[in-house]
Structure 1
Amino acid sequence: MTTATLNKKSKKIPVRGMMENVMEQFNSASDHIELHPNIRKILSITNNEIVVHFPVKMDNGDVEIFTGYRVQHNNALGPYKGGLRYHPTVDIDAARALAMWMTWKTSLAGLPYGGGKGGIQLDPSKYSQSELERITRRFTFALADNIGPEHDIPAPDVNTNSQTMAWMADTYMSTRPPAERTANQHVVTGKPDGSGGLEGRDRATGFGVYLTIKFWAQHNDESLEGKRFIVQGFGNVGYWAAHFLEKEGAKLVAVQDAFGSIQNKDGIAVEDLFNYSKSNNGSIVDFPESKTLDKDEFYATDCDICIPAALGNQITKEVAPLIKARLIAEGANGPTNVEGEKILLERGVTIIPDILCNSGGVIGSYFEWLQNRNGELWQLEEVMPKLEKKMKESFEKVYAFAKAESLDLRTAAYCIAIKRIEKAYIQRGIFP
């Protein structure tokens, strides 16, 4: 581990856990499919790891030095693809784990992409909008030679959004020769609608989470009407997943965010909570007609479906026994660690893995990339059916493989994803 130069205050324990999780999951699936030893060696490591330190002038005139990361895991199937997050826990090990997950996710979805991930180690709530813009632009400038629309395509992630991507795209295009600038608009995805973004990209990840839950219910001859669900993280993913589930008649009974947890057994109106959080500095705390819960009480809420849509390593061996849900739908990346998952599977709980459940976001990104690349403008009415079709294809493949091989859904998803990459290496060979 190369942590000697990292911020001593960063939370290294959960980060190491994420890397251990992804490697154990990878090795388990690789054993099952008897992955070629040479290809296992290649996929066990990253291709490139970029660390940049850059100065930014603050509003008060002081200069701060920031550390940014971009890990490019594998590009056997196409350009590196993955988000950039702004969070205190971002470091090289977190980026490694997340980049590997992106490789499996894009492969499983059948996209012409590899996997990458990164971000900046900071708490964005401590900076003004103008400071965040300068930080983003300076980070983009530092990364400019390592990203590109046919090489590595960043996207939003935790604490980054369409505005962040607009700043990145503008900065990157400004570094290109004048004749090439507009041709590089698809260097990032997740941009605002008016700046080359895709209609529906904002809801794509949450919509995908909802779809996988719907497909699971259909396979079990069940309706979502009356199903009770809880959501950890009420940001973009958690909100949209809850929005679509509520429309199907499901009932949101508890929510947890970075500020606290709330519950109402009779149901929480999703739109009311969303509007309240926007007016309450992003917090759900003290939402009317709800009671406050302790963190562990949130997980112990009586429900049918649990949607972890915040950060990684949330469902551990301590948390797993508390969960009453029959289904875990992973809206976040790596929210369930290996120990927690074993407990849940032994209890008969179904887990829709992150690389399948939240892949609507990267599929939406692929649509945006194609739209920009071809000089087209796709309408929302055509985007959502295309997204549902891709998600259903992936879900059916995983569900069928899991049933045929007597596997859990995560191992099945990994097997399918890794076999696609293995096929590419076998067909192409390894240079030289």
Structure 2
Amino acid sequence: MTLVADQKKQKKPAVRGMMENVMEQFNSAADQINLHPNIRKILSITNNEIVVNFPVKMDNGEVEIFRGYRVQHNNALGPYKGGLRYHPTVDIDAARALAMWMTWKTSLAGLPYGGGKGGIQLDPSKYSKDELERITRRFTFALADNIGPEHDIPAPDINTNSQTMAWMADTYMSTRPPAERTANQHVVTGKPEGSGGLEGRDRATGYGVYLTIKFWAEKNEMTLKNKRFIVQGFGNVGYWAAHFLENEGAKLVAVQDAYGSIENQDGINVASLFNYVQAHKGSFVDFPDADPIDKDSFFGTDCDICIPAALGNQITKENASQLKATLIAEGANGPINVEGEKALLKLGKTIIPDILCNSGGVIGSYFEWLQNRNGELWQLDEVMVKLDKKLNESFNKVWEYSQRRSMDMRTAAYCIAIERIEKAYVQRGIFP
């Protein structure tokens, strides 16, 4: 057999500053609440970092070596929880930063979870469906007991979906003793509905983005009707956020993804764009009802609301001054770096932070985990009501904290999340 070059040798864009960003955000909030130095030490590092290299046979009979990661940051509040992404930018530093963000996100949402994150360094567009299935199953096998329904529960993220989770669940359950297999269905969340998935999980993250925008508008005594918004990333999160905002009377005026950028100040019909993307292999290039624009001018599009729902570090001090939007709602994890955020706040912009704005996904995952664990079956209307209630509680906590302490919403969200974890350590003590 022939061994093909390791994925490490592929040239890929670096994810610069993500770890520095999350640490600066953490330390800023820790200073605000006078976090105990010992707990600061614990939360500043990850608990476990798993790196696996594994071979997979391709359709042509050749073998490629893949590198996968799973970083487990903290589990003081419960099992590690977080997504797995398939992307060329996946590396250990990115996984560390994303795992930390998950710890703050699950804590802020009041869930019995900690934070974890990971994935495989690859471009999934270069592989067939059969190859991706073999890659996923082999990765799951390589992770072995480092994941588990009461230990570490993966979910979909960038370039992974319900099918990926179905393959993971089946592989994991197949490695368990026969009597335990069905009891391990909740090892992952985000599964298809026919395989133990939650009805409505597909839209939970985007719905959460929409809801937090709606809650913000209500606090400011304004309506979303006729508000213009732009979305970076028209995947699952971007699409559903746009769908619900349009239903509220808002108008999508520009979209950007890896393929290009388009604009129409008269409005882009979300359903039409979605159908076009589905029919053109995920691309909206040449969409007839909008005009192409230069990628570097996207954030300068005239609008009221900006939703970065793609990758991290998209808004920096170099392009922050371009933003016309009054409100930036972080659909992605870490789309604004620290210097970019400082620039935006100086300009009087409001940022709904990622650990609040896109937490609908992990809340939906928690509902799915409970459903599987308890052998229940929840209906869509019930799920949406529960999401609404949970997100409303989280938003109100952050809003009231930020108003009371005269601080931005991100710092307020971090303070609430870290204080909950600190309380757990204080009450339980440190072993031994």
Normalising by structure 2, what TM-score?
Answer: 0.98
**Equivalent pair of 2:7/2:122 in contact (CA under 8 Å):** no
In 2, the alpha carbon distance for the partners of 1:216 and 1:172 equals 41
Equivalent residue letter for 2:145: D
Corresponding residue for residue 246 of structure 2: 246
Corresponding residue for residue 148 of structure 2: 148
Deviations 1:299-345 (A, max 9, x none): 11100000000000000111111000000000000000001100100
Equivalent residue letter for 1:341: E
Deviations 1:358-377 (A, max 9, x none): 00000000000000000000
Corresponding residue for residue 308 of structure 2: 308
Query: What SS does the corresponding residue of 1:7 show, helix, strand or coil?
Result: helix
In 2, the alpha carbon distance for the partners of 1:284 and 1:330 equals 22
Corresponding residue for residue 7 of structure 1: 8
Query: What SS does the corresponding residue of 1:72 show, helix, strand or coil?
Result: strand
In 2, the alpha carbon distance for the partners of 1:157 and 1:146 equals 19
**Equivalent pair of 1:352/1:409 in contact (CA under 8 Å):** yes
Query: What SS does the corresponding residue of 2:17 show, helix, strand or coil?
Result: helix
Normalising by structure 1, what TM-score?
Answer: 0.98
Corresponding residue for residue 335 of structure 1: 335
Equivalent residue letter for 1:41: K
Corresponding residue for residue 372 of structure 1: 372
**Equivalent pair of 2:51/2:69 in contact (CA under 8 Å):** yes
Corresponding residue for residue 109 of structure 1: 109
Corresponding residue for residue 197 of structure 1: 197
Query: Does residue 223 of structure 1 match 2:205?
Result: no
Deviations 1:132-153 (A, max 9, x none): 0000000000012100000000
1:356-367 matches, within 5 Å, as 356-367=356-367
In 1, the alpha carbon distance for the partners of 2:311 and 2:429 equals 37
In 2, the alpha carbon distance for the partners of 1:382 and 1:19 equals 37
**Equivalent pair of 2:19/2:94 in contact (CA under 8 Å):** yes
Equivalent residue letter for 1:81: K
Query: Does residue 261 of structure 1 match 2:225?
Result: no
Cα RMSD (Å) = 1.0
In 1, the alpha carbon distance for the partners of 2:109 and 2:413 equals 10
**Equivalent pair of 1:169/1:188 in contact (CA under 8 Å):** yes
In 2, the alpha carbon distance for the partners of 1:369 and 1:36 equals 33
1:25-64 matches, within 5 Å, as 25-64=25-64
Query: What SS does the corresponding residue of 1:51 show, helix, strand or coil?
Result: strand
Q: Which runs of 4+ in 1 moved over 6 A?
A: none
Query: Does residue 95 of structure 1 match 2:95?
Result: yes
In 1, the alpha carbon distance for the partners of 2:164 and 2:206 equals 20
**Equivalent pair of 1:6/1:91 in contact (CA under 8 Å):** no
- Following TM superposition, by how much is the alpha carbon of 1:11 offset from its aligned partner in structure 2, in angstroms? 4.4
Report how many residues are paired.
Answer: 427
Query: What SS does the corresponding residue of 2:65 show, helix, strand or coil?
Result: strand
**Equivalent pair of 2:13/2:88 in contact (CA under 8 Å):** no
**Equivalent pair of 2:230/2:307 in contact (CA under 8 Å):** yes
- Following TM superposition, by how much is the alpha carbon of 1:349 offset from its aligned partner in structure 2, in angstroms? 0.3
Equivalent residue letter for 1:140: T
**Equivalent pair of 1:73/1:99 in contact (CA under 8 Å):** yes
In 2, the alpha carbon distance for the partners of 1:9 and 1:29 equals 37
- Following TM superposition, by how much is the alpha carbon of 1:10 offset from its aligned partner in structure 2, in angstroms? 5.2
In 2, the alpha carbon distance for the partners of 1:27 and 1:189 equals 31
Corresponding residue for residue 210 of structure 1: 210
- Following TM superposition, by how much is the alpha carbon of 1:16 offset from its aligned partner in structure 2, in angstroms? 3.5
- Following TM superposition, by how much is the alpha carbon of 1:12 offset from its aligned partner in structure 2, in angstroms? 6.4
Query: Does residue 160 of structure 1 match 2:150?
Result: no
Equivalent residue letter for 2:281: N
- Following TM superposition, by how much is the alpha carbon of 1:298 offset from its aligned partner in structure 2, in angstroms? 1.1
